[in-house]
A and B are shown apart, each in its own frame.
Chain A
Amino acid sequence: NAGVTQTPKFQVLKTGQSMTLQCAQDMNHEYMSWYRQDPGMGLRLIHYSVGAGITDQGEVPNGYNVSRSTTEDFPLRLLSAAPSQTSVYFCASSYADHRAAYNEQFFGPGTRLTVL
């Protein structure tokens, strides 16, 4: 059981370049999400998905796209990178059982992105 995996671990981009951050989970979780972590700002939700074919915007979605074609994968696309997108990006997944008292989220190890 690999849990939540993210690639790459580090990435440096130039302004205007595009790239995709990969996220995969092998726990058959319905819910997947992307956060960015910035100093003094905590974790802010970018986009999330509650199943294949279903995505929605979080708190800071501008400049990012997502899709969910399979249960396992939830890639995050930066269409035209900007220095303001320099951050550490975390993917997380969990079950989406609304009858449960809570659904524990499992986090990937993160991708550290620098945009020059």
Chain B
Amino acid sequence: GDSVTQMEGPVTLSEEAFLTINCTYTATGYPSLFWYVQYPGEGLQLLLKATKADDKGSNKGFEATYRKETTSFHLEKGSVQVSDSAVYFCALSESGGSNYKLTFGKGTLLTVNP
């Protein structure tokens, strides 16, 4: 079945540091890939997405590129802020009939210190 493996945390960075959170996936077909973010005490919200190979998703300074050859979707940000402290989840959905079902990675807790 489908699976998502992401970098285990926690990750602790200083403000303005560079962030990478690795994510690799296993899926049949051509999945769509997502990063969701969960701020403390809240539900998840979509951060960015990519629906086909070589697509780059971006939002709020975060970026991730859909790499089919390495089955990866690594999250990056050039300069993190304290407000980026959250749990980040990589996820995928299959194309076609069940494209609403998500498979999640285990999440990576990011803490950014001032």
Contact = CB atoms under 8 A, between A and B. Distances in A.
Partners in one complex: yes
A102 B97 contact: no
Contacts of A31: 100
B46 A104 contact: yes
A76 to B, nearest CB: 15
Q: Is the interface of B mostly helix, strand, loop or mixed?
A: loop
A81 B94 CA distance: 33
Interface residues of A, number: 28
Contact of B49 (A90, A102, A109): A102
Contacts of A42: 89, 104-107
B43 A90 contact: yes
A103 B93 contact: yes
Interface in A53-106: 90, 92, 94-98, 100-105
Interface of A: 4, 30-31, 33, 40-43, 45, 48, 50, 90, 92, 94-98, 100-105, 107-110
